[in-house]
Amino acid sequence: MKAIELIFLAALAAIVLFQLYAVLGRRVGRGAEEAARAAPLPIDPAPRAATPRPDAAASPPGVAALKARDPSFDLDRFLSGARSAFQMIVAAYAAGDRASLKPLLAPAVLEAFDQAMTQRENEGRSETVEFLQPVRADFEGADLVDDVVRASVRFIAEIRTRSKGPEGEAVDDRRTAEVWTFERALKSRDPNWLLLHVDLAEV
Protein backbone atom coordinates (compact mmCIF):
# COMPACT_ATOMS: atom_id res chain seq x y z
CA MET A 1 0.00 0.00 0.00
CA LYS A 2 1.29 3.44 -0.88
CA ALA A 3 0.01 6.38 1.13
CA ILE A 4 2.51 9.02 2.27
CA GLU A 5 6.14 9.79 2.54
CA LEU A 6 5.82 12.00 5.56
CA ILE A 7 5.48 9.80 8.69
CA PHE A 8 2.43 10.82 10.57
CA LEU A 9 -14.46 11.59 7.15
CA ALA A 10 -16.12 13.47 5.09
CA ALA A 11 -17.44 16.96 5.90
CA LEU A 12 -18.01 17.62 9.61
CA ALA A 13 -21.46 18.78 10.71
CA ALA A 14 -21.82 21.34 13.46
CA ILE A 15 -23.08 18.70 15.83
CA VAL A 16 -19.85 16.75 15.45
CA LEU A 17 -17.74 19.76 16.35
CA PHE A 18 -19.94 20.30 19.40
CA GLN A 19 -19.35 16.70 20.42
CA LEU A 20 -15.60 17.25 20.24
CA TYR A 21 -15.99 20.09 22.70
CA ALA A 22 -18.20 18.14 25.07
CA VAL A 23 -15.84 15.25 25.04
CA LEU A 24 -13.28 15.45 23.17
CA GLY A 25 -1.00 4.63 15.28
CA ARG A 26 1.94 4.81 12.92
CA ARG A 27 2.50 1.37 11.85
CA VAL A 28 4.74 -0.89 13.85
CA GLY A 29 6.87 -3.86 12.87
CA ARG A 30 7.91 -2.80 9.33
CA GLY A 31 10.98 -1.38 7.66
CA ALA A 32 11.51 2.36 7.78
CA GLU A 33 10.86 2.98 4.10
CA GLU A 34 7.74 0.85 3.97
CA ALA A 35 6.38 2.34 7.18
CA ALA A 36 6.88 5.84 5.83
CA ARG A 37 4.90 5.00 2.70
CA ALA A 38 2.15 3.16 4.56
CA ALA A 39 1.64 5.26 7.69
CA PRO A 40 -1.95 6.57 7.89
CA LEU A 41 -0.96 10.11 8.87
CA PRO A 42 2.12 12.32 9.00
CA ILE A 43 3.64 12.30 12.47
CA ASP A 44 5.42 15.00 14.40
CA PRO A 45 8.41 16.16 12.29
CA ALA A 46 10.55 15.84 15.43
CA PRO A 47 9.16 12.64 16.99
CA ARG A 48 10.05 11.61 20.48
CA ALA A 49 10.84 8.10 21.65
CA ALA A 50 8.01 5.61 21.67
CA THR A 51 5.75 6.21 24.64
CA PRO A 52 5.60 3.24 27.04
CA ARG A 53 2.26 1.95 28.25
CA PRO A 54 1.38 3.43 31.64
CA ASP A 55 0.55 1.34 34.69
CA ALA A 56 -3.12 0.45 34.30
CA ALA A 57 -3.64 0.68 38.06
CA ALA A 58 -2.28 4.22 38.28
CA SER A 59 -4.63 7.19 38.34
CA PRO A 60 -4.56 9.05 34.99
CA PRO A 61 -2.02 11.85 35.41
CA GLY A 62 -3.27 15.39 35.21
CA VAL A 63 -6.99 14.64 35.50
CA ALA A 64 -7.39 16.09 39.00
CA ALA A 65 -5.59 19.30 38.03
CA LEU A 66 -7.67 19.59 34.86
CA LYS A 67 -10.96 19.08 36.69
CA ALA A 68 -9.91 21.71 39.21
CA ARG A 69 -9.64 24.22 36.36
CA ASP A 70 -12.53 22.82 34.32
CA PRO A 71 -15.11 21.06 36.53
CA SER A 72 -17.12 20.04 33.45
CA PHE A 73 -14.31 17.81 32.19
CA ASP A 74 -15.41 14.17 32.05
CA LEU A 75 -12.78 11.60 31.15
CA ASP A 76 -15.13 9.05 29.60
CA ARG A 77 -16.77 11.64 27.37
CA PHE A 78 -13.38 13.05 26.45
CA LEU A 79 -12.15 9.62 25.32
CA SER A 80 -15.35 9.01 23.35
CA GLY A 81 -14.88 12.31 21.54
CA ALA A 82 -11.17 11.69 21.02
CA ARG A 83 -11.97 8.31 19.45
CA SER A 84 -14.45 10.00 17.10
CA ALA A 85 -11.88 12.67 16.24
CA PHE A 86 -9.26 10.01 15.48
CA GLN A 87 -11.55 8.22 13.04
CA MET A 88 -12.71 11.44 11.37
CA ILE A 89 -9.17 12.78 10.95
CA VAL A 90 -7.80 9.50 9.56
CA ALA A 91 -10.67 9.21 7.09
CA ALA A 92 -10.56 12.89 6.10
CA TYR A 93 -6.82 12.65 5.51
CA ALA A 94 -7.30 9.60 3.28
CA ALA A 95 -10.01 11.43 1.34
CA GLY A 96 -7.95 14.62 1.02
CA ASP A 97 -10.78 16.48 2.77
CA ARG A 98 -9.00 19.64 3.85
CA ALA A 99 -12.22 21.42 4.86
CA SER A 100 -12.94 18.77 7.49
CA LEU A 101 -9.37 18.71 8.76
CA LYS A 102 -8.93 22.47 9.17
CA PRO A 103 -11.01 22.95 12.36
CA LEU A 104 -9.45 19.89 14.01
CA LEU A 105 -5.71 20.43 13.46
CA ALA A 106 -3.17 22.87 14.84
CA PRO A 107 -1.61 25.00 12.06
CA ALA A 108 1.69 23.08 11.91
CA VAL A 109 -0.12 19.73 11.73
CA LEU A 110 -2.50 21.03 9.07
CA GLU A 111 0.49 22.18 7.00
CA ALA A 112 2.15 18.75 7.28
CA PHE A 113 -1.09 17.01 6.30
CA ASP A 114 -1.59 19.36 3.36
CA GLN A 115 1.93 18.70 2.06
CA ALA A 116 1.43 14.94 2.29
CA MET A 117 -1.98 15.08 0.60
CA THR A 118 -0.64 17.34 -2.15
CA GLN A 119 2.21 14.94 -2.81
CA ARG A 120 -0.21 12.02 -3.00
CA GLU A 121 -2.46 13.94 -5.40
CA ASN A 122 0.48 14.94 -7.59
CA GLU A 123 1.41 11.26 -7.83
CA GLY A 124 -2.11 10.44 -9.04
CA ARG A 125 -2.99 8.42 -5.95
CA SER A 126 -6.17 8.16 -3.92
CA GLU A 127 -7.26 6.08 -0.96
CA THR A 128 -10.06 5.22 1.43
CA VAL A 129 -9.90 3.69 4.90
CA GLU A 130 -12.07 1.28 6.85
CA PHE A 131 -11.83 0.51 10.55
CA LEU A 132 -11.93 -3.25 11.00
CA GLN A 133 -12.38 -3.17 14.78
CA PRO A 134 -13.52 -0.56 17.31
CA VAL A 135 -10.67 1.86 17.95
CA ARG A 136 -9.07 1.56 21.38
CA ALA A 137 -8.41 4.88 23.13
CA ASP A 138 -6.44 5.07 26.40
CA PHE A 139 -5.87 8.33 28.26
CA GLU A 140 -2.16 9.04 28.69
CA GLY A 141 -2.30 12.20 30.73
CA ALA A 142 -2.86 15.94 30.69
CA ASP A 143 -0.64 18.96 31.28
CA LEU A 144 -1.69 22.51 32.06
CA VAL A 145 0.45 25.49 31.21
CA ASP A 146 -1.25 28.72 32.22
CA ASP A 147 -4.66 28.48 30.54
CA VAL A 148 -3.71 25.88 27.94
CA VAL A 149 -4.37 22.17 28.47
CA ARG A 150 -2.73 19.42 26.46
CA ALA A 151 -4.20 15.94 26.74
CA SER A 152 -2.65 12.82 25.21
CA VAL A 153 -4.49 9.69 24.08
CA ARG A 154 -3.02 6.39 22.92
CA PHE A 155 -4.90 4.92 19.96
CA ILE A 156 -4.67 1.34 18.72
CA ALA A 157 -6.62 0.62 15.55
CA GLU A 158 -7.02 -2.07 12.92
CA ILE A 159 -7.29 -0.31 9.55
CA ARG A 160 -7.89 -1.48 5.99
CA THR A 161 -6.67 0.92 3.31
CA ARG A 162 -7.76 0.70 -0.32
CA SER A 163 -5.46 2.70 -2.58
CA LYS A 164 -5.36 3.47 -6.29
CA GLY A 165 -2.34 4.70 -8.21
CA PRO A 166 -0.63 4.55 -11.59
CA GLU A 167 0.42 0.96 -10.90
CA GLY A 168 -3.12 -0.17 -10.04
CA GLU A 169 -5.14 -0.88 -6.91
CA ALA A 170 -4.04 -2.31 -3.58
CA VAL A 171 -5.63 -3.33 -0.29
CA ASP A 172 -3.60 -3.19 2.91
CA ASP A 173 -4.57 -4.25 6.45
CA ARG A 174 -2.49 -2.90 9.29
CA ARG A 175 -2.43 -2.20 13.00
CA THR A 176 -1.58 1.31 14.09
CA ALA A 177 -0.32 2.41 17.51
CA GLU A 178 0.05 6.13 18.12
CA VAL A 179 -0.23 8.75 20.85
CA TRP A 180 -2.10 11.87 19.78
CA THR A 181 -1.85 15.08 21.79
CA PHE A 182 -4.78 17.49 21.71
CA GLU A 183 -4.71 21.09 22.87
CA ARG A 184 -7.35 23.55 24.05
CA ALA A 185 -7.26 26.99 25.64
CA LEU A 186 -9.50 26.87 28.70
CA LYS A 187 -10.55 30.52 28.41
CA SER A 188 -11.06 30.49 24.65
CA ARG A 189 -14.54 30.86 23.22
CA ASP A 190 -13.57 28.23 20.66
CA PRO A 191 -14.67 24.96 22.31
CA ASN A 192 -12.74 22.64 20.00
CA TRP A 193 -9.67 20.57 20.81
CA LEU A 194 -6.93 20.74 18.15
CA LEU A 195 -4.57 17.90 17.25
CA LEU A 196 -1.14 19.21 18.20
CA HIS A 197 1.13 16.29 17.25
CA VAL A 198 1.34 12.52 16.81
CA ASP A 199 3.95 10.25 18.33
CA LEU A 200 4.89 6.65 17.71
CA ALA A 201 3.57 4.38 20.47
CA GLU A 202 4.17 0.87 21.72
CA VAL A 203 1.33 -1.62 21.42
Q: Is residue 4 part of a domain?
A: no
Burial environment of residue 7 by CB neighbours within 10 A (0 to 12, 13 to 18, 19 or more):
buried
Percent of the chain past pLDDT 70, that is, above it, reads 70
Q: Is residue 7 part of a domain?
A: no
Q: Is residue 37 part of a domain?
A: yes
Q: Is residue 119 part of a domain?
A: yes
At 44 the three-state DSSP class reads coil
Identify the pLDDT of residue 42.
58
Least confident piece of the model among 22-31, 69-78, 134-143:
22-31
Could you tell me where the DSSP H helices lie in 56-187? 63-69, 75-95, 98-101, 107-122
Q: Is residue 124 part of a domain?
A: yes
CB proximity list for 191: less than 8 A, separation 6 or greater: 17, 18, 20, 21, 184
Instruction: Evaluate the CA torsion angle 200, 202, 137, 2 in order and state its sign.
Output: positive
pLDDT (tens digit, 9 = 90+) per residue, 124-174? 999 999 999 999 999 999 999 889 999 999 999 999 999 999 999 999 999
**Closest to 37 in 3D by CA, of 123, 157, 107:** 123
Report residue 60's pLDDT band, with 50, 70 and 90 as the boundaries.
Answer: confident
CB proximity list for 165: less than 8 A, separation 6 or greater: 2, 123, 124, 125, 126
The residue segments making up the domain with residue 176 are 14-200
At 142 the three-state DSSP class reads strand
Evaluate if residue 27 carries a pLDDT over 50: no
Q: Is residue 1 part of a domain?
A: no
**Residues 123, 152: contact at Cβ < 8 Å?**
no
CATH number, domain with residue 79: 3.10.450.240
Q: Is residue 2 part of a domain?
A: no
Q: Is residue 138 part of a domain?
A: yes
Domain count, the chain: 1
- The pTM for the full model equals 0.73
